[in-house]
Structure 1
């Protein structure tokens, strides 16, 4: 899947623009340096389990099989601003704080049902948090828009769970498993069919 199509898909599913999407699209480095050693073995395992709760294994492999944690590591390291990196890294430890408050156990030790409850709770929290961030950013955002340089505006970091959810979805559909098993896979450029039905007025293929 092309990067632009992936960003549109994530936005459609999550109802918001993909965090770090502008850097992911351009392939540029966002300049953040906070990631450091945050992506250790334990944290990678946790992120894969969070992804698996968001996209579980059914008749097709889930997010864990697609190793979405590795996608998160790359995207956060290369495409997140310093502030976004710091928010995400803080969120990794915050997951277990929330988990212990709700179920007296770390997330990775919780049952699938308990994990689902935790993420539903975080989804609600994230929605409220992101709305407040949007409102707080509005004056600065409008200023850049009035100056006709909206792409220079750098928004405040959104809730860490929004980041994790978006990257779980993006990482999954960007993987071979997601592309070939969850989606209808059409190899590029595909086969040539000189007798394909055509009606006058139909658009030509690109």
Structure 2
């Protein structure tokens, strides 16, 4: 599966709605600064994210430290219940690797890691299509995409960056016509 197909699949499977987004509104007061996850959790999330967005001719999720982003985002923007569910998702993901393959996720071959993530994503898509609550893996998928494409690396080396509204021209001749509105 190539990156484009995977992104299309993830968008379809997750309904493109970011889990936890309501908790990240600018006017909601949150406590920030204390990361509730260990460096090992961030490394594990980087491994998983790299399977979702692998390095190809462009950098992958690990290069953007998406795992580190996820731990900070969940710690600072998720409610206590959402944080607990995310922690349970990590435990479930680690357990899946142990139960199905008999070894930790990091010890799996690249093809085993890909097969595992594809199997879980397929189950998430099926549950989503049934109208059930979001699958436990959905936030990990969504935060991987969100973290990567909003990172400096993702925005500048993978996406085409277009500054908005454009360059600053401070001394423009005004002809008396209507002003611009955007």
TM-score bucket of the superposed structures, by smaller chain: 0.7 to 0.9
How many matched pairs? 162
Change (3 A) 1:88 1:129: farther
User: Once superposed, what is the RMSD of the aligned Cα atoms?
Assistant: 2.9
Judge conservation of contact 2:13–2:128 (CA < 8 Å) in 1: no
Q: Take 1:82 and 1:56, find their aligned partners in 2: how far apart are those partners?
A: 31
Structure 1 gaps of 5+ residues are: 1-9, 136-155, 194-203
What is the TM-score with the length of structure 1 in the denominator? 0.67
What's 1:22 paired with? Answer: 22
Q: Is 1:160 the equivalent of 2:143?
A: no
**1:11, CA displacement in angstroms?**
6.0
Structure 2 gaps of 5+ residues are: 1-9, 170-179
Out of 48, 51, 54, the residue aligned to residue 50 of structure 1 is: 48
Q: Take 1:13 and 1:159, find their aligned partners in 2: how far apart are those partners?
A: 10
Judge conservation of contact 1:52–1:62 (CA < 8 Å) in 2: yes
Deviation string 1:95-115 (CA, Å, 9 cap, x unpaired) is 121112222211111111111
Aligned counterparts, 1:23-172, within 5 A = 23-26=23-26, 28-29=28-29, 38-130=36-128, 134-135=131-132, 158-172=134-148
**1:39, CA displacement in angstroms?**
1.2
Q: Take 1:86 and 1:166, find their aligned partners in 2: how far apart are those partners?
A: 17
Deviation string 1:60-84 (CA, Å, 9 cap, x unpaired) is 1110010111221122122222222
In structure 1, the residue corresponding to 2:162 is in which secondary structure?
Answer: coil
Deviation string 1:29-73 (CA, Å, 9 cap, x unpaired) is 568xxxx87511111100001111000001111100101112211
Judge conservation of contact 1:126–1:159 (CA < 8 Å) in 2: yes
**1:131, CA displacement in angstroms?**
5.5
Q: Take 2:92 and 2:98, find their aligned partners in 1: how far apart are those partners?
A: 10
Judge conservation of contact 2:69–2:147 (CA < 8 Å) in 1: yes
Judge conservation of contact 1:23–1:29 (CA < 8 Å) in 2: no
Deviation string 1:139-185 (CA, Å, 9 cap, x unpaired) is xxxxxxxxxxxxxxxxx6x3331010000000000100110111111
Change (3 A) 1:91 1:13: closer
Q: Take 1:44 and 1:110, find their aligned partners in 2: how far apart are those partners?
A: 18
